Structures are given as C-alpha cells and as structure tokens.
Amino acid sequence: MKNECLITNNEKIAKDIYELTLELEETLAPGQFININVNRPDLLLRRPISISNYENNRLKVIYRTVGAGTKALSKIAIGNKLDILYPLGNGFPLVENKNVLIIGCGMGVAPMLYLAKELSKNNNLTIILAYQNKDYAYLTDAFDNYGNVIITTDDGSIGYKGNVLEYLKNNKLNFDTLYACGPLIVLKNLDLKYRDIKEGYLSFESRMACGIGACYGCVINTKNGLKRVCKDGPVFKLGEVVYD
C-alpha cells in the first residue's frame, strides 16, 4: 500500500541517529519495514527502514544518517507528509511460552523494540542491546519493561565491554528461541553457532530497488535457492541462509 503520512516527529536521539514518527492507522507487524520516498527528485529509489514501534496510530522508525537519502530524510520537518510503501516484508513469527533471547546490534536494535513488546506478552525475555559506544546508543531504557536487558559496547563506555559474540562466549544464557538483527557478520556467527541447537529468526538487510518483490535486486542465497529479502524476508529462520 502507498500512503502520504503526516510527520509528527523527526528528532535526533543519538549521534547520527534519528527517530521519525508518522501518523498511520493500519497496524504493521514486528520485523516488517516501510519504503520511504525521501522527497528529493535526484534520489529515485526509496529507502527501506524497519518498523521500530507502533502504538495509537503512530508508527516509529529509527534511522542512521549514512548517505544522501537518510540525510535528506533527517531534514524533513514535522507537519510535512511522507510518501511511504507499507507493510513490506514477512515480519517475525511470534512464539509463546518460551525463554527468548533477543539480540539487536547497532541499527538492528530499532526493530527489536516492537518485537520485544509483543513477545513479552507470552514469553520470558532476555534482551541484548549491542552498540559501538555510548555515543551511538539509543533506546537503552526502552526495553526495561519487557525483560532482562544487557547492554554491550565495543569500548565498554556503557555496559559490558566487548561485542555481543564475546558476551555470548563468556556468559551462559538459557533460552529456547533466538531473534536477532544486526550486521551480516554478527548474523552469520549467530546462525553458525545456534542453527543446529536452537529455534531462531534472523532479520537480514540487502540493497533494495523496488522493495516489493518485483525486480529480484535484493536476493540472498538460501538452502531453497535465491530468495528476495524484501518479499520472502527480511526474516529468515536459523539455518536457512547460505553464506559464501
């Protein structure tokens, strides 16, 4: 679906990181994303951004300004309308009555908030929020109501000093189901570590063009052949993706 949504907030929440709030009546599911027209004629492709939260007809996304598109987005003022495509992607399947481990790394923290809110209704959650350092840390208190929160930073400026993989190596966590979003190298390591022993779901990124399954520009290699991250994903089961 395509819609022009009113921007009710677009504020900086950490270094190079912004939270954008849009008025939207339809509910979207955790793990789905929207594709944003950043309203600059020279930037033809929409930019995919994950849903971070949805409540009271307000959709929130959190984005890091890495290039021209996200920088243009950060300059659009409250009160303007934004052209978005939604709901896109499959989203996370929601388990019940499990001990769940949620891992968000960097910008991968953003989609885990809505997921944690939904999963906390029927599960026991441990949530790891992993950041480069305290300057890039955001949503650090937002998960407190949903489970036991562990924060890691590469330099130890807040929380555990070390990356999430080091944390998992040095600390035994008891869980049945894993949910994770973050850089490919982290997802790959989690997948190889847990694919034979746990149930789990990983959210992947890919450079996208159409965002709706038509162009095959975003494919990823899986056990069942090439799959479109935008339409068949972005969430894939542990053990599903084939890494080179």
Ligand X SMILES: Cc1cc2nc3c(=O)[nH]c(=O)nc-3n(C[C@H](O)[C@H](O)[C@H](O)COP(=O)(O)OP(=O)(O)OC[C@H]3O[C@@H](n4cnc5c(N)ncnc54)[C@H](O)[C@@H]3O)c2cc1C
Smallest distance, ligand FES to C-beta of residue 212, A: 7
Q: Judged by CB, which is closer to ligand FES: 230, or 241?
A: 230
Site string for ligand FES, 159-198 (x = CB under 6 A): ----------------------------------------
Query: What's the CA gap between 87 and 188, in Å, rounded?
Result: 26
Does an H or E element contain 110, and which? helix 110-119
**Tokens describing residue 140:** 């650090």
Q: Which among 72, 76, 80, 21 is positioned nearest to 51, based on CA atoms?
A: 21
Stretch that binds ligand FES, among 2-10, 110-118, 190-198, 207-215 (CB under 6 A): 207-215
**Tokens describing residue 38:** 């950043």
Residue among 185, 214, 226, 242 that touches ligand FES (CB under 6 A): 214
User: CB of 11 within 8 A of CB of 19?
Assistant: yes
Residue among 211, 220, 227, 234 that touches ligand FES (CB under 6 A): 211
Query: What's the CA gap between 177 and 8, in Å, rounded?
Result: 35
239 binds ligand FES (CB under 6 A): no
Residue 183 burial (CB count, 10 A) = 14
User: What is the binding site for ligand X (CB under 6 A)?
Assistant: 33, 47-50, 61-64, 66-70, 107, 110-111, 205-208, 234
Q: Which residues here bind ligand FES, judged by CB under 6 A?
A: 208-211, 213-218, 228, 230
